[in-house]
Structure 1
Amino acid sequence: MEYLPLFFDLKNRPVLLVGGGDVALRKARLLTRAGALIHLIAPEVCEEVKMLVEQKGGQIELGKYRKSLLQGRVLVVAATDNQSLNESISFDARSANVPVNVVDSPALCTFIFPAIVDRSPIVVGISSAGKAPVLARNLRARLETLIPQGYADLGALVGRFRQQVKQKFSTVDGRRLFWEKILSGPVAEKVFAEQQDEAEQLLRSAIEAAEDKSPMGEVYLVGAGPGDPELLTFKALRLMQQADVVLYDALVSPEVVDLCRRDADLIYVGKRRDQHTLSQEGINELLVKHAKQGKRVVRLKGGDPFIFGRGGEELQALSEQGVPFQVVPGITAASACSSYSGIPLTHRDYAQSVRFVTGQLKSRQAELDFSDLLATNETLVFYMGLHTLPDISAGLMGAGRSASTPVAIVSRGTCKDQRVLTGTLSTISDLQESAQLPAPSIIIVGEVVKLHSELTWFGEVHQEANHALEQVQQLSA
């Protein structure tokens, strides 16, 4: 984020505007809408600018800019076509610690004007950090069609009753839950239908009937998918943006975490091999604790919560404590990573079934029954198996699976840095030793891997890795 978005209270505050042409007129319109008292200086001023500034209680001065005009101003806007003058204004303002905007010159600005969707008191600002103002305006135009004018009336109604609700509820959570119910119910619908009196009466009745008590919260077990934020479900995104607390694990990408509600408490509870930030029992306790405080808790898990995600264990703990919960399925890594790497899990020419297998068992001493994984018309997908890849390959071959069976490793699947390494059961461990693809990764075993080079659109690394392996083998020889 290059700029911190802020909303500046300019009501009856002195602002300096340098320039008297069309550009200055656009800025004067915006500043006066915000209630600013403008002091405009320019050698010449167009009549429309003069009328606007004077009608709004501002002052017009015909003349040249001088540094002394900055004294007492809360901000300054340079709207001239003189580059040297604009640079001087920017330098003077920065030296005086006065926020400055130089139109169409981001490098000379300490603040920039966003494209604005005005539904006062609801205002949306859209910025491209000065890099693509036309794109920002295009986005504003789209939002204009999505946000009805009725939101202005709804915002005003809420503002009139905000103090009453604050007095009714002793806690922030109680007030928030009340308003969320109001804003998604019949009061809002009455406002949008322009039935203001009915909406106000409904709101009064709701306030009178409301009880100030701390309700039980709820836990949402949300599948975050394999990494690409565009693979989130609508329901997942909605709950993430409503949550008071978010517990997320190591497999959830930063891009997905960034979509959570901005003021939510984000708690990292990630677990990687032999590196547990918090035990599973500790995670369960946190879920219960926050829910019993009346909070909405999102447990954000990579992939799907019920496929090697220990979601069932967490729900058992919640159920035992009487905590209500919902489960939001996510796209599991096997499906997403295979799709993004051009490897269909089933194909009538190669595989009629697919099996998901964990490479990390609850007991490290336990062993997979490889003799049950030998069907050549079945695709095997190993989760969390990168560190046991040599054991998996040796186990399958030892049980009778052909050494030439195709294998693929998909590393950081669906992310921008996704990499795919292909080989066979007999070569994949050496290839990975050379390539060093990072976790998280899945391993796909089966004839469908042959389709990777034909169907993929992601970059490939297996040729590079094969070349590296050949060099290693030559040196060893």
Structure 2
Amino acid sequence: MAENDSQLSVFPAFFKVENAVAAVFGDGAEAYAKARLLKNTKARIVAYTTAPEADYAAFLAQHDIAQIAGPFAADQVDGARLVFAATGNAALDRDIVAAARDARIPANAVDQPDFCDFYTPALVNRAPIAVAIGTEGVGPVLAQMIRADIDRLLPRSLGKLGRLANAYRGAVDRLVPRGAPRRLFWRDFFKGKVADAVEAGELSHARRQATRLLRDTAASKVEGRVFLVGAGPGAEDLLTLRAHRLMMECDVIVYDALVPREVVDMGRRDADRIPVGKRKGCHSKSQGEINDLLVELGREGKRVVRLKSGDPLIFGRAGEEMAALRHAGIPYEIVPGVTSAFAAAADFELPLTLRGVSSSLVFTTGHDLTGEILPDWARLALSGTTVAVYMGRTVAASVAERLMAAGLAEDTTVAVVENAGRRDSRRLHGTLKELPGLEARTELTGPVMVIIGDAVAGADFSRSEPLGARQSAELESARN
């Protein structure tokens, strides 16, 4: 099985250590650091130390931590929940870990990854809330830098807010239905007036606000809602903040085939995920079936994210879904996304409009180039309008031929992007005369965007491949 760089070699978890023994072996700075970290918990620290350094000795005395002097003996680990070997003597630390492992007790030896059953994280403490940052032992300085950033972000009152939430948890479980209503209650609890009152130190006011929020939520009717959400061109960091928030709150994610799995996985972990992919020649569900599915889920009271590639209102068939939802009386909202034309233009640093050259832009699929009458967008291209052709590889020849026949210059610049806006994007450039060759580029399996017009000449082609290069190479090969 191929190694996956996104997989951790450790499983992040929190040990229960209240009133349990955590044994720390050592006299110096490393033992002191482990004891300080443990003091954030309710563990019963036992320090095995013969001559602790001054700072460590003062810390042990200040916190009345039990100290046991003398040489190491294997039975000293008995009964401990965790063992830290921080003596500064690598061989002795290994012996301590070996004794702990024999007793089936997790152990950690400083600076010896092979003798660590767990790693100690950089910790942000807002008890009972804790954020632990681990680097699998490879970057402790980086972990501390991240810890400092998170520490600045989280309010000092977060622990008080967490304890207040815990006091309301039983009532919420009784009065608020599971699923979206309960998630929305907690979102409003942690982000709204309750949190503001706790941060201001007004705990009585916070309790009143929490009680009012609970009463209003319990009295409200559970109502389904569908969000038609643009996922953008496929890059995770081009998803909008609103889209991500809704994906973290929804009950169901209904997604298209062109939405990458990495984007779908950004949704709430336990949300249902339903693929309804439609790609050329392969439809898992018809549009009518998708419409019926959205209506059915809405009637069940579900909050549904209908995740579409790019923007839902641009060749996303959102109009049909909106009509079905409207007819069924299901509330819905539109969340715009970055459409592929904009991502493709950004890849090329290409101005879609350019003063004095092009003042308008047309989006098309090119599939309406049939019959004798030239469509309006093709006529506009003759007057300088920039044309963005979606799903452009299979219609490249017909687009180019009809535009040249209508009078558009064969040397008009074109830009082509596969997987626009993504790390695996591929860029090509050339002229309208060379565009028909695109149909033979069967290695382009991702969505292809073609942009045509005089403004395209202002793009940066330094990182793209000439469209005609392959044709020239094939001709040269044929001559030889």
In structure 2, relative to structure 1, the CA distance for the partners of 1:340 and 1:57 (3 Å cut) is same
Task: Give the alignment of 1:12-161 within 5 angstroms.
Answer: 12-46=19-53, 49=56, 59-90=66-97, 97-161=104-168
Distance 1:473 1:95 in 2: 72
Could you tell me which amino acid in structure 2 is paired with residue 6 of structure 1?
A
Distance 2:12 2:401 in 1: 56
Which residue is 2:194 aligned to? 187
Identity of aligned residues (%): 37
Q: In angstroms, what is the RMSD of aligned CA positions?
A: 3.1
Give the aligned partner of residue 473 of structure 2: 471
1:163 to 170, 173, 179: 170
Name the counterpart of 2:276.
269
Contact 1:434 1:468 in 2 (8 A): no
Question: Does the 8 Å contact 1:360/1:384 carry over to 2?
Answer: no
Per the TM alignment, residue 213 of structure 1 is displaced from its structure 2 partner at its CA by 6.5
Structure 1, unaligned runs of 5 or more: none
CA displacement 1:57-90 (0-9 Å, x = unmatched): 8643334445544444333222233333444555
Query: How many Å separate the matches in 2 of 1:451 and 1:94?
Result: 66
Report the equivalent of 2:183: 176
- The reply to whether residue 244 of structure 1 matches residue 230 of structure 2 is no
Residue 415 of structure 1: which of 415, 419, 422 is its match? 422
Structure 1 residue 164: Cα displacement:
2.2
Q: Which moved more, 1:166-175 or 1:153-162?
A: 166-175
Q: Distance in 2 between matches of 1:276 and 1:149?
A: 52
Structure 1 residues 266 and 112: alpha-carbon distance in aligned structure 2, compared to 1, 3 A threshold? farther
Q: Provide the rounded CA distance (Å) in 2 between the counterparts of 1:91 and 1:192.
A: 47
Deviates more, 1:332-341 or 1:75-84: 75-84
2:429–2:461 contact (8 Å) kept in structure 1: no
Q: Deviations over 1:201-233 (max 9, x none)?
A: 333344456536651022222212223333333
Distance 2:177 2:64 in 1: 42
Asked if the contact 2:18/2:41 (under 8 Å) is kept, the reply is yes
What one-letter code is carried by the residue in structure 2 that aligns with 1:9?
K
In structure 1, C-alpha distance between the alignment counterparts of 2:109 and 2:120, rounded to whole Å: 10
TM-score, normalised to structure 1, is 0.87
2:226 match: 219
* Matched position secondary structure for 1:436: coil
Q: Could you list the runs of 5+ residues in structure 2 that have no partner in the other structure?
A: 1-6
1:412-443 CA distance string (max 9 Å, x none): 11112222111223323436635833311201
Helix, strand or coil for the counterpart of 2:80? coil
Secondary structure in structure 1 of the residue aligned to 2:433: coil
Distance 1:81 1:360 in 2: 72
Q: Does 1:461 align with 2:465?
A: yes
Deviates more, 1:440-449 or 1:395-404: 395-404
> TM-score by structure 2 length?
0.86
Aligned to 1:291: 298
Tell me: CA distance 1:173–1:379, structure 2 relative to 1, closer, same or farther (3 Å). Answer: closer
Number of aligned residue pairs: 469
Q: Aligned to 1:318, what secondary structure does the other structure show? A: helix
Deviations 1:359-414 (A, max 9, x none): 457xxx96695464143312211101222323333333344433333222111111
> What SS class does the counterpart of residue 16 from structure 1 fall into?
strand
- Quick one: which amino acid aligns to residue 27 of structure 1? K
Taking the aligned partners of 2:212 and 2:361, their CA distance within structure 1 comes to: 57
In structure 2, how many angstroms separate the alpha carbons of the residues matched to 1:243 and 1:128?
A: 31
Is structure 2 residue 271 aligned with structure 1 residue 259? Answer: no
Structure 1: distance between partners of 2:318 and 2:325: 11
Pick closer, same or farther for the CA change 1:444–1:164 going to 2, 3 Å.
Answer: same
Q: Given that residues 38 and 53 in structure 1 are in contact (C-alpha distance below 8 angstroms), is that contact kept between their aligned partners in structure 2?
A: no
Residues 439 and 95 of structure 1, relative CA distance in 2, 3 Å threshold = farther
What amino acid maps onto 2:474 in structure 1?
V
Residue 246 of structure 1 aligns to a residue whose secondary structure is strand
Distance in structure 2 (CA, Å) of the matches to 1:173 and 1:238? 13
SS at structure 2 position matched to 1:141:
helix
C-alpha separation between the residues in 1 aligned to 2:335 and 2:216?
A: 33
